[in-house]
């Protein structure tokens, strides 16, 4: 396995090529770093401010704001090549006194000829321009294996009802392809490209379905054109990488359930069940020994070793790990143990007492940072454990998964909602409540797995039973825009997501992504369709008609990958054997299959060592976790990208903008019929 992760490689590229490379040219002096909004997001996602200052930067400035002239200092500009940013750059050197002594200019991506002409036409700027270069980093790293192309409105613009022919749709396709090409440029690869093929149109499809279904194909085609242009400009670009790297482009419609099903892993629950501020900021509140209430803000991210250790664990496993870390800390630090004794008997053995742990930190300053982080995660773990127990005790999480795997239908949903309504009427349960959002997500699991079960009358009845609003039901209906047959269709055969295989019982599923340590947990059965798709690709069994190659065809034999990629740790024979030992798992979301389909024979496609997966419309946290686990299991360098990261609440907000109107039926007093499924 290579020494550098994807995020570490991008960090090194920014620090060395954009910042570090200028130290010699500036004679080791201090510099000003000037960035626009996009470049700031790119840099801050991969580097800390300490990293930046260590390269000789004395001050970081916002390009769009008025700044104090520093005519004796050199400036490094890291900006996006937009008309607005270039205008600000030119203005910095167009006045009577230029703001800086010199300018070292780095663009996040290639500037257009017209913008370069504007720069060259400014004589004062041209006289002070030492360097112009392209950084080829137009994305943000989310974690060591995940990136985002920073398109927060991509889902609504690509999948709304009137997307066909809209300028927003075309712009999202272009931006996604351009930023995905910058990932390839940063890695130095010209990959083979595959995409999810558009599904053939079906009777009853809502308007614009052809454009929505073609999103992966159009991004793939635009990406291929950009990569070919890059290779024409530099024939050495990506030489040989086509045999060792592959890009797979899919969309949110591949698996509409993944963003709504309740997860039980640490990171997914943090983003689902706890209030986080912008930039993953968590407000940690506690009471000091003096009785004073305090709130400390923490950023949950890669810089926190405890976060990276816990994030993909089941919450039960995470809680045990936190308890173990607390005991280890007390055993290794006598001063902390003594202080705990002073604060109260049993403090050293009660890891869930946040107040005592926080007071240890305040009493022993040298332990402040370590204990603060431990206290933070114990606080988070306690809250998540409480919420997890509630989700399990009331049966909500179990019912969601039973729906997904064909073990429940309308009868169970009706019984649950009826029981939930009566229980909630008198208050909460165990300090928690089944929220309207919980019931909305449950109904979404139902409509995705039981297509064409909603007509206007039933929709109104479900709304009344669940206590939802018309806007809530609109969100459910908007899942039509993601290919879900919510309403009855004429002459329709139903829809499936993923491959059209028989839905396997949970007891027969032994995929790699369902970790061995997870088998002991009751509600760890859900696996996103994306994980199965990646596994099939790794084994050469991914259907070429559903996921065709774009451009010059499929990948060649495996070979050694380039800098900061993970070279496969298993030889092909071992990877093949490991794959054969699992039961093929697929979800036919529409119907229980009448019979089993025979195993698909492996194709001639050879395994590759690096895989870049891109999800147009946004990626869920259970998919992020799956990629991390698959990369470990397969010995591949799998990098996951998306237009955005979608916690459940954000997915529901974006669904509201897809707009698929339905008629509100007044027949809401009729009893719901139990479907015969």
C-alpha 135/C-alpha 158 separation (Å) is 28
| pLDDT, tens digit (0-9, with 9 covering 90-100), for 177-229 | 999 999 999 999 999 999 999 988 888 888 899 999 999 999 999 999 999 99
Q: How many CB atoms lie within 10 A of CB 170?
A: 14
Residue 21 burial (CB < 10 Å; 0-12/13-18/19+)?
A: middle
Which value, to the nearest 10 degrees, does the dihedral of the CA atoms of residues 600, 606, 611, 616 take? -50
Start and end residues for every CATH 3.40.50.2060 domain found in the chain: 6-137
What's the token pair of residue 351? 């890891």
Residues of the chain with CATH 3.90.830.10: 266-391
Q: Is 321 helix (H, G, I), strand (E, B) or coil?
A: helix
Q: What is the pLDDT of residue 369?
A: 72
Return the closest-CA partner of residue 585 out of 529, 520, 635: 529
Burial class (CB in 10 A: 0-12, 13-18, 19+), 379: buried
- Residue where the block lists tokens 């504007």: 118
Which of 106, 132, 112 is closest to 38 using CA atoms?
106
Using the predicted structure, report yes or no on whether residue 384 has a pLDDT greater than 70: yes
State mean pLDDT over 646-655: 97
Short-list 233, 237, 146, 151, CA closest to 189: 237
Joined tokens for residue 379: 């606080």
Would you say 613 and 248 are in contact if contact means Cβ atoms under 8 Å apart? yes
Q: What is the mean pLDDT of residues 618-632?
A: 96
Backbone angles phi, psi at 437, to 5 degrees: -65, -40
Topology (CATH) of 266-391 = Syntaxin Binding Protein 1; Chain A, domain 2 (3.90.830)
Q: Which of the pair, 104 or 2, is modelled with greater confidence?
A: 104
Mean pLDDT of 154-171: 95
Contact between residue 137 and residue 186 where contact means Cβ atoms under 8 Å apart: yes
* Interacting residues of 442 by C-beta distance below 8 A, sequence separation 6+: 396, 399, 400, 403, 413, 416, 417, 466
Q: Picking from 61-65, 335-339, 412-416, 577-581, which range would have the lowest pLDDT averaged per residue? A: 577-581
Q: If pLDDT is split at 50, 70 and 90, which confidence band does 332 have? A: confident
* pLDDT surpasses 90 at 293: no
Report how far apart, in Å, the C-alpha atoms of 12 and of each of 161, 186, 619 are: 42, 11, 26
pLDDT digits (tens, 9 = 90+) for 562-603: 332 322 333 333 323 222 332 222 222 223 333 334 444 555
pLDDT at residue 342, as a whole number: 55
Dmax of the chain from CA atoms?
A: 81
Sign of CA dihedral 618, 623, 628, 632: negative
CATH 3.40.50.1910, the chain: domain bounds: 142-255+504-646
Check residue 504 and give its pLDDT.
35
Average pLDDT of the chain to the nearest whole number: 81
Ranges 201-205, 365-369, 556-560, most confident: 201-205
What's the residue count for the chain? Answer: 677
Per-residue model confidence (pLDDT) at position 453: 86
Domain with CATH 1.25.40.60 in the chain: 395-496+653-677
Least confident of 385-394, 400-409, 491-500, 602-611: 491-500
Q: Which of the following CATH numbers is that of domain 142-255+504-646: 3.40.50.620, 3.40.50.300, 3.40.50.1910, 3.90.1150.10?
A: 3.40.50.1910
Give the whole-angstrom CA distance, residue 442 versus residue 471. Answer: 16
Q: What is the pLDDT of residue 372?
A: 82
What mean pLDDT is predicted for residues 447-475?
Answer: 91
Separation of alpha carbons 483 and 261, rounded Å: 18
Question: What's the rounded mean pLDDT across residues 534-551?
Answer: 94
How high is the pLDDT of residue 551? 81
* 640 SS3 class: strand
Distance CA 311, CA 268 (A): 8
> Do 249 and 193 contact (CB within 8 A), yes or no?
yes
In percent, how much of the chain has pLDDT > 70?
75
d(CA 304, CA 289): 26
Question: From the CB of residue 143, how many other CB atoms can be counted at a distance below 10 Å?
Answer: 21
Q: In the CATH scheme, what is the code of domain 6-137?
A: 3.40.50.2060
Instruction: Answer yes or no: are the C-beta atoms of 42 and 108 closer than 8 Å.
Output: yes
CATH 1.25.40.60 is held by the domain 395-496+653-677: yes
In this structure, the strands spanning 637-642 and 245-251 are unpaired
Banded pLDDT at 28 (limits 50, 70, 90): low
Query: Exposed e or buried b for every residue in 650-668, given b needs 16+ CB within 10 A?
Result: bbbebbebbebebeeeeeb
Q: What's the pLDDT score for residue 351?
A: 47
Q: How many CB atoms lie within 10 A of CB 221?
A: 18
Instruction: Report the percent of the chain where pLDDT is more than 90.
Output: 61
Per-residue pLDDT for 457 more than 80?
Answer: yes
Residues 395-402 have a mean pLDDT of 94
With 50 as the cut, is the pLDDT of residue 514 above it?
A: no
* Phi, psi (degrees; rounded to nearest 5) at 442: -65, -45
């Amino acid at each position: 396995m290579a020494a550098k992760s994807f995020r570490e490689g991008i960090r090194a590229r920014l620090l060395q090529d954009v910042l570090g490379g200028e130290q010699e040219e500036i004679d080791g002096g201090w510099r000003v770093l000037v960035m626009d909004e996009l470049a700031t997001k790119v840099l801050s996602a991969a580097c800390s401010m300490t990293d930046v200052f260590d390269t000789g930067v004395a001050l970081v400035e916002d390009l769009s704001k008025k700044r104090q002239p520093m005519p004796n200092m050199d400036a490094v500009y890291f900006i996006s090549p937009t008309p607005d940013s270039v205008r600000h750059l030119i203005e910095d050197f167009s006045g009577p006194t230029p703001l800086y002594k010199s300018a070292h200019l780095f663009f996040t991506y290639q500037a257009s000829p017209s913008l370069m002409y504007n720069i060259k036409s400014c004589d004062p700027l041209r006289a002070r321009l030492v360097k112009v270069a392209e950084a080829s980093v137009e994305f943000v790293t989310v974690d060591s294996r995940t990136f985002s192309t920073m398109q927060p409105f991509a889902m609504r613009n690509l999948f709304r009802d009137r997307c066909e022919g809209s300028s927003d749709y075309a712009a999202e396709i272009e931006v996604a392809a351009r930023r995905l090409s910058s990932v390839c440029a940063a890695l130095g690869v010209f990959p083979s490209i595959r995409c999810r093929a558009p599904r053939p149109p079906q009777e009853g499809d809502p308007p614009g379905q052809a454009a929505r279904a073609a999103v992966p194909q159009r991004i793939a085609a635009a990406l291929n054109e950009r990569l070919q242009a890059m290779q024409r400009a530099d024939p050495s670009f990506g030489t040989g990488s086509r045999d060792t790297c592959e890009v797979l482009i899919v969309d949110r419609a591949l698996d509409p359930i993944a963003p709504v099903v309740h997860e039980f892993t640490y990171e997914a629950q943090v983003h689902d069940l706890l209030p986080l501020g912008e930039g993953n900021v968590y407000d940690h509140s506690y009471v000091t020994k003096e009785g004073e209430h305090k709130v400390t803000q923490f950023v949950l991210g890669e810089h926190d070793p405890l976060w990276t250790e816990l994030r993909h664990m089941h919450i039960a496993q995470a809680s045990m790990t936190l308890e173990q870390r607390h005991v280890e800390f007390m055993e290794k630090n006598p001063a902390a143990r003594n202080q705990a004794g002073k604060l109260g008997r049993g403090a050293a053995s009660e890891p869930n007492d946040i107040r005592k742990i926080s007071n240890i930190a305040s009493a022993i300053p040298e332990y402040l940072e370590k204990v603060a982080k431990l206290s933070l995660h114990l606080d988070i773990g306690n809250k998540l454990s409480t919420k997890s127990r509630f989700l399990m005790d009331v049966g909500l999480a179990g019912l969601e998964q039973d729906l997904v795997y064909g073990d429940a239908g309308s009868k169970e949903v009706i019984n649950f909602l009826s029981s939930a309504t009566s229980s909630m009427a008198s208050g909460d349960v165990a300090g928690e409540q089944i929220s309207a959002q919980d019931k909305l997500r449950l109904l979404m699991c139902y409509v995705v797995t039981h297509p064409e079960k909603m007509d206007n009358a039933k929709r109104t009845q479900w709304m009344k039973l669940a206590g939802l609003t018309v806007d809530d039901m609109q969100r459910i209906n908007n899942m039509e825009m993601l290919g879900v047959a919510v309403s009855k269709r004429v002459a329709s055969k139903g829809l499936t997501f993923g491959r059209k295989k028989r839905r396997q019982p949970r007891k027969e599923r032994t995929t790699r992504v369902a970790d061995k340590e997870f088998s002991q947990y009751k509600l760890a059965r859900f696996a996103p369709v994306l994980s199965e798709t990646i596994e099939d690709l790794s084994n050469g069994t991914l259907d070429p008609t559903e996921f065709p190659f774009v451009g010059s065809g499929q990948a060649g034999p495996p070979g050694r990958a380039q800098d900061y990629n993970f070279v496969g740790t298993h030889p092909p024979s071992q990877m093949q054997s490991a794959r054969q030992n699992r039961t093929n798992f697929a979800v036919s979301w529409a119907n229980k299959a009448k019979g089993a389909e025979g195993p698909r024979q492996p194709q001639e496609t050879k395994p590759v060592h690096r895989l870049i997966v891109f999800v147009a419309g946004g990626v869920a946290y259970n998919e992020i976790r799956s990629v991390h686990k698959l990369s470990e299991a397969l010995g591949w360098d799998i990098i996951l990208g998306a237009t955005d990261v979608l916690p459940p609440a954000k997915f529901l907000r974006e669904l509201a903008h897809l707009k698929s109107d339905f008629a509100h039926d007044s027949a809401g007093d009729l009893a719901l019929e139990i479907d015969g499924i």
